[in-house]
């Protein structure tokens, strides 16, 4: 690559002929954003005075915050065509280790909270590295690896605690992070938003993100061009574990207790959100924005059904249906794209 002359007009080098609107329209996640808008509009119309209030909207945002942190890591993992079933258990074991240690230290101040945070993140990171090592080096399929660590991590959490939740979050953690607000927005939501934005930038703007897509798109090609695929995979699973650990401390702050029995479906809910948001389970495709849209659909349905007086159990029915529909539509788009219609016109 020594040439520096300007390219001729015949080869398109930017997407700039598309405005921002066009670019958003071309995203896989756009139609699912439409679904979310419709859901919000329907509930808004049915119950304008309760559903579309600042209080309810903050409530929904607060409910998705912890899952959002997990979804960031999950998006990376699924784009590599992997899966991480262990996030819920890693969250639990991280929060158990943190709670137990903070309990032993006994303080209610920031120093105790900080130790808890560091421990939770380290424990999460450790599980993530283990997952990544088994996937990349031992070549065990990610589904099996993380199904195994799901079980092992949860078991260890139960051994440590004897199966009983530990109520031990320092006051500063609960007051400032769990219940705290900044300009009316829950602190936990702000923290999650920062994680999501940073995660999105790393995924879409950096070389790390580019390699994440490349590995999921064609692992052989990634290896041939000299990418250290094994190391990248370990890093990506480590990231997912680290974020699960971080979510563990957020969960302690929000609920004031470890939630040993309460996370058994967390992994599936997060995976469903990421997939609804347009991330392909076959890898190579997906966006952080889509995952966030996918996360809000179940949360909005839950809140809406409660408000309009429909049994909230319908939420699980609706989410499952949307999941299948979302993947079906994605498959159709993919098929259309490979027929040569162009992926950006669907």
Tally of residues, the chain:
346
For residues 282 and 217, is the Cβ–Cβ distance under 8 A?
A: no
Instruction: Identify which of residues 31 and 208 has a Cβ nearer to other proteins in the complex.
Output: 208
With CB under 8 A as the contact rule, the residue among 53, 151, 206, 321 that binds other proteins is 206
Q: Shortest distance, CB of residue 224 to other proteins, whole angstroms? A: 5
With CB under 8 A as the contact rule, the residue among 21, 309, 313, 338 that binds other proteins is 338
Q: How far is CA 183 from the centre of its chain?
A: 25
Residue with tokens 């991280």: 94
With CB under 8 A as the contact rule, the residue among 59, 221, 321, 331 that binds other proteins is 221
20 binds other proteins (CB under 8 A): no
With CB under 8 A as the contact rule, the residue among 14, 21, 49, 55 that binds other proteins is 14
Q: Give the integer Cα–Cα distance in Å for 288 and 311.
A: 31
Q: Shortest distance, CB of residue 76 to other proteins, whole angstroms? A: 14
Pairing assessment for the beta strands 181-182 and 185-186 based on DSSP bridges: antiparallel
| Contacts of the segment 161-164: beta carbons below 8 A, 24+ positions apart | 161/96, 161/100, 161/258, 161/260, 163/260, 164/260
With CB under 8 A as the contact rule, the residue among 5, 54, 162, 313 that binds other proteins is 5
With CB under 8 A as the contact rule, the residue among 57, 105, 202, 307 that binds other proteins is 202
Report 318-337 residues binding other proteins (CB under 8 A). Answer: 337
Q: Give the integer Cα–Cα distance in Å for 269 and 263.
A: 10
For residues 99 and 252, is the Cβ–Cβ distance under 8 A?
A: yes
Q: Give the integer Cα–Cα distance in Å for 258 and 262.
A: 9
**Residues whose CB falls within 8 Å of the CB of residue 75, separated by 6 or more in sequence, listed in order:** 199, 203, 274, 277, 279, 286, 287, 288, 291
For residues 208 and 202, is the Cβ–Cβ distance under 8 A?
A: yes
Instruction: Identify which of residues 3 and 49 has a Cβ nearer to other proteins in the complex.
Output: 3
With CB under 8 A as the contact rule, the residue among 31, 179, 208, 305 that binds other proteins is 208
With CB under 8 A as the contact rule, the residue among 104, 144, 163, 207 that binds other proteins is 207
Report 222-281 residues binding other proteins (CB under 8 A). Answer: 222, 224-227
Instruction: Identify which of residues 4 and 311 has a Cβ nearer to other proteins in the complex.
Output: 4
Instruction: Identify which of residues 5 and 49 has a Cβ nearer to other proteins in the complex.
Output: 5
198 binds other proteins (CB under 8 A): no
Binding residues vs other proteins (CB under 8 A): 1, 3-8, 10-15, 202, 205-208, 210, 213-214, 216-218, 220-222, 224-227, 284-285, 337-338, 340-344
């Amino acid at each position: 690559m020594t040439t520096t002359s300007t390219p001729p007009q015949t080869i398109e080098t930017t997407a700039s002929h598309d405005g921002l609107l066009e670019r958003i329209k071309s995203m896989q996640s756009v139609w699912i954003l439409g679904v979310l808008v419709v859901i919000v509009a329907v509930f808004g119309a049915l119950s304008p005075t309760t559903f579309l209030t600042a209080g309810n909207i903050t409530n929904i945002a607060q409910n998705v915050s912890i899952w959002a942190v997990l979804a960031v890591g999950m998006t990376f993992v699924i784009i590599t065509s992997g899966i991480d079933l262990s996030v819920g258990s890693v969250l639990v074991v991280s929060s158990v280790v943190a709670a137990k240690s903070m309990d032993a230290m006994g303080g209610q101040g920031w120093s105790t909270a900080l130790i808890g945070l560091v421990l939770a993140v380290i424990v999460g990171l450790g599980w993530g590295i283990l997952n990544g090592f088994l996937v990349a080096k031992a070549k065990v399929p990610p589904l099996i690896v993380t199904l195994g660590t799901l079980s092992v991590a949860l078991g260890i959490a139960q051994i440590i605690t004897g199966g009983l939740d530990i109520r031990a979050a320092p006051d500063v953690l609960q007051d400032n992070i769990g219940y705290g607000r900044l300009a009316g927005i829950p602190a936990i939501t702000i923290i999650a938003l920062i994680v999501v934005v940073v995660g999105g930038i790393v995924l879409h703007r950096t070389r790390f993100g580019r390699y994440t897509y490349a590995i999921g798109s064609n692992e052989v090609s990634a290896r041939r061009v000299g990418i250290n695929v094994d190391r990248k995979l370990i890093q990506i699973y480590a990231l997912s574990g680290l974020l699960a650990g971080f979510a563990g401390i957020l969960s302690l702050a929000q609920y004031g207790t470890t939630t040993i029995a309460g996370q058994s479906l967390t992994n599936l809910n997060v995976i469903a959100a990421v997939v609804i948001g347009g991330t392909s389970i076959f890898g190579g495709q997906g966006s952080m924005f889509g995952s966030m849209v996918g996360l809000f659909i179940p949360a909005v349905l839950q809140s809406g059904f409660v408000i309009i007086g429909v049994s909230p159990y319908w939420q699980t029915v609706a989410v499952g249906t949307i999941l299948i529909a979302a993947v079906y539509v994605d498959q159709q788009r993919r098929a259309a794209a490979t027929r040569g219609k162009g992926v950006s016109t669907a």
